[in-house]
A and B are shown apart, each in its own frame.
Chain A
């Protein structure tokens, strides 16, 4: 029998220092990172609409620029609503998806988003008198009517003479009302629309004298809030396009929370079972796997937070599945080491040969899966994309932790010589070992 060489205590100390350092790092900020990750609609509740974009004018080209303008205009509008983390994305050639997490008043949000905010001033025969291009940009505001103290919206014209001419013209009509329209369409007529309960005509004041002024007061059935929103939308600018609602999805927040709690609870159980099995089956190596898997979960959370990605239910599922992939990399390596031990190699050379031989297997398996995930990300839409992102992040991180992390940590123990002649620590029985 070989003489047992001295144990290198420094290696074991290094192992505990590394583990302690990571434990301290994880304990100190894992909760901060977990809390900073923005949650998808399915987890925190909110409101999602998918719009199809149609150009307003016949001659308008449907192109990328028009879509980008639409997104910019929608973002400006959402600011009026005061949503903290809106998500407006272009999908395909003519779609825009708007996700508003945590929005409580869905009706207001829907109306605010879809209105084109094209303000126009017309006579009762629907002839155009003034439109948005005659207004000072950003000149709309909410104020109160000087006489009635009702909330109103005032807009500013670029030239006082404009209003003078218009009011003079309208005064001469037998029906001397001036209709203030929002989103007038070719087929709309004044007398039909004014009857409607939810009319596109915001107000129709009677013009009795020539008004040479730049300020126009729009009275309507406003509350302070709705007047503020209309002013905000007018300032944010008209949408360059017409939006058709393809689908709308409202998620109640309490259901989201519940789904989240359940998924996390299930995740803990699943990961706990994996840990228990790994230690039971691979003994000492399982313990190392437990350390690297914990680091893996922590790193995925940190990377996800850095990327500002949105975590959804399929994302959580991909994260938990990623744990499975990380475990797989460990298992492939550990099985190889066990093979080498069984063939009669010493602990140190079994560790070296096992690590080396398992690398190409893990590499090929991971690259093919990443290839599939990358294609999904490139061609998929929202839900599939979120899943693919999480899968790619998981695989890359698992490769780092399971291959390099496990190798480093296990290597410290193996090279300390403490484990020499102790195949049972690796889950290998003495009688399985064949003589060289």
Chain B
């Protein structure tokens, strides 16, 4: 990939309304799905127990169900994982007692020679972590707006934060659609994307700020659009190269990283795509629309003042 700045003319601005509408519809669908269907909450957010059995051979769900039946237990759900289907995850809604846990562990240790993972959780912990994370993000958002307002200007801060929430909601929407189980590392992934999204947006805005300082006077909407387009084209190589390298890392985690971080890495990949999309097609365009309104307001004030006097 090579982007020769002088020869590249991509109009990122012209179709902004289509992108706004696309994102708007997508996120609206997301909110509706989140309210109706909801996320597939994992054991971190539900009261219950999961038993993860590492077998030394390929197993089937029926075999595992049979083993649990011998102990007088009936799992609510059994999923198989691992390269050779040698990991079985049995979920129980409602916590297993201490005695039952020990029996299960002893049984499978004897059978396969590995102690299974037994996680018992009350949902308070996961729920609180999620609530904590949301509050933290809101506080961080305020902090970011303040920082960006000092270093740049208020409108940049607002646009960056809208892009940030766009990306976070995008991940939630995808997870509501595919109904992949949501766990605590998922929250860490959403937080990572928020950090990445901010990073990415700021780099683009920094270039817009720089190019704005070269402009003597922005008179028409086209002037403003030209600056934004130029800045986006100039940062395009960087945007694409950075997202590619981070996607290399995230995709490697997704493909080879194993079951334990699959949700995490999938959320990362989805979020990176969303973050790049919003940096290229949403954030800068949003800033442009807001900036144009601000310029027009100032113009009106200026033309209104002499008649008053």
- A interface, CB within 8 angstroms of B: 42, 50, 92, 106-107, 110, 246-255, 258-259, 262-263, 265-267, 269-271, 273-274, 277-278, 281, 313-314, 317-318, 320-321, 323-325, 327-328, 331-332, 335, 338-339, 342, 360-361, 364-369, 371-373, 375-376, 378-381, 383-384, 387-388, 391, 429, 432, 434
In the complex, whether B260 has a CB less than 8 A from a CB of chain A is yes
- Map CB proximity to A onto B48-82 as digits: 1 under 8 Å, 0 otherwise: 00001010000000000000000000000000000
- The smallest C-beta distance from B127 to any residue of chain A, in angstroms, reads 12
- Beyond known contacts A266-B257, A314-B185: 7 more, CB 8 A cutoff: A106-B105, A253-B115, A259-B259, A320-B253, A321-B268, A369-B196, A378-B136
Which residues of chain A come closer than 8 Å to B4, judged between CB atoms?
Answer: 342, 432
- Map CB proximity to A onto B144-163 as digits: 1 under 8 Å, 0 otherwise: 10011001000000000000
In the complex, whether B24 has a CB less than 8 A from a CB of chain A is no
- The smallest C-beta distance from B1 to any residue of chain A, in angstroms, reads 8
- Map CB proximity to A onto B241-263 as digits: 1 under 8 Å, 0 otherwise: 11011101111110111111100
Which of B173-181, B187-195, B283-291, B295-303 lies on the face that meets chain A? B187-195
A331 touches B202 (CB 8 A): no
Q: Which residue of A lies closest to B6 (CB)?
A: A434
A267 touches B121 (CB 8 A): no
Which residues of chain B come closer than 8 Å to A380, judged between CB atoms?
Answer: 129, 132-133, 136
Please report the C-alpha to C-alpha distance between residue A172 and residue B188 in the assembled complex, in whole angstroms. 66
A371 touches B147 (CB 8 A): yes
Q: Which residue of A lies closest to B3 (CB)?
A: A335
Which residues of chain B come closer than 8 Å to A364, judged between CB atoms?
Answer: 151, 202, 206
A267 touches B120 (CB 8 A): no
In the complex, whether B135 has a CB less than 8 A from a CB of chain A is yes
Q: Which residue of B lies closest to A326 (CB)?
A: B245
- The smallest C-beta distance from A329 to any residue of chain B, in angstroms, reads 9
A273 touches B253 (CB 8 A): no
Given contacts A281-B241, A368-B144, contact A249 B121 (CB under 8 A): yes
A317 touches B261 (CB 8 A): yes
B136 touches A262 (CB 8 A): no
Q: Give the size category of B's interface with A.
A: 35 or more
A379 touches B114 (CB 8 A): no
B188 touches A339 (CB 8 A): no
B242 touches A266 (CB 8 A): no
SS class, residues of chain A in contact with chain B: helix
In the complex, whether B203 has a CB less than 8 A from a CB of chain A is yes
Given contacts A250-B118, A250-B119, A254-B115, contact A339 B199 (CB under 8 A): no
Please report the C-alpha to C-alpha distance between residue A259 and residue B253 in the assembled complex, in whole angstroms. 11
B258 touches A258 (CB 8 A): yes
With beta carbons under 8 angstroms apart, the residue of A317, A360, A368 that contacts B147 is: A368
Please report the C-alpha to C-alpha distance between residue A294 and residue B2 in the assembled complex, in whole angstroms. 26
Please report the C-alpha to C-alpha distance between residue A339 and residue B102 in the assembled complex, in whole angstroms. 65
In the complex, whether B309 has a CB less than 8 A from a CB of chain A is no
Which residues of chain B come closer than 8 Å to A313, judged between CB atoms?
Answer: 185, 260-261, 264
B253 touches A375 (CB 8 A): no
Which residues of chain B come closer than 8 Å to A255, judged between CB atoms?
Answer: 52, 54, 87, 114, 116-117
In the complex, whether B219 has a CB less than 8 A from a CB of chain A is no
Among B137, B194, B202: residue with most chain A CB under 10 A? B202
Given contacts A265-B256, A387-B191, contact A376 B140 (CB under 8 A): yes
Which residues of chain A come closer than 8 Å to B249, judged between CB atoms?
Answer: 267, 270-271, 273-274, 320-321, 323-324
Please report the C-alpha to C-alpha distance between residue A251 and residue B137 in the assembled complex, in whole angstroms. 30
With beta carbons under 8 angstroms apart, the residue of A251, A328, A379 that contacts B199 is: A328
In the complex, whether B94 has a CB less than 8 A from a CB of chain A is no
Given contacts A270-B249, A317-B261, A365-B199, contact A381 B242 (CB under 8 A): no
Please report the C-alpha to C-alpha distance between residue A342 and residue B265 in the assembled complex, in whole angstroms. 38
Which residues of chain B come closer than 8 Å to A50, judged between CB atoms?
Answer: 125
A365 touches B133 (CB 8 A): no
- The smallest C-beta distance from B241 to any residue of chain A, in angstroms, reads 5
B244 touches A246 (CB 8 A): no
- The smallest C-beta distance from A154 to any residue of chain B, in angstroms, reads 30
With beta carbons under 8 angstroms apart, the residue of A251, A320, A324, A339 that contacts B117 is: A251
- The smallest C-beta distance from A378 to any residue of chain B, in angstroms, reads 8
Which residues of chain A come closer than 8 Å to B135, judged between CB atoms?
Answer: 379
In the complex, whether B98 has a CB less than 8 A from a CB of chain A is yes
Q: Which residue of B lies closest to A431 (CB)?
A: B4
- Map CB proximity to A onto B92-127 as digits: 1 under 8 Å, 0 otherwise: 000000100110010000000011111111101100
A368 touches B251 (CB 8 A): no
Q: Which residue of A lies closest to B116 (CB)?
A: A252
B120 touches A327 (CB 8 A): no
Given contacts A361-B206, A365-B199, A380-B132, contact A263 B258 (CB under 8 A): yes
Q: Which residue of B lies closest to A52 (CB)?
A: B124
A324 touches B242 (CB 8 A): yes
B238 touches A332 (CB 8 A): yes
In the complex, whether B184 has a CB less than 8 A from a CB of chain A is yes
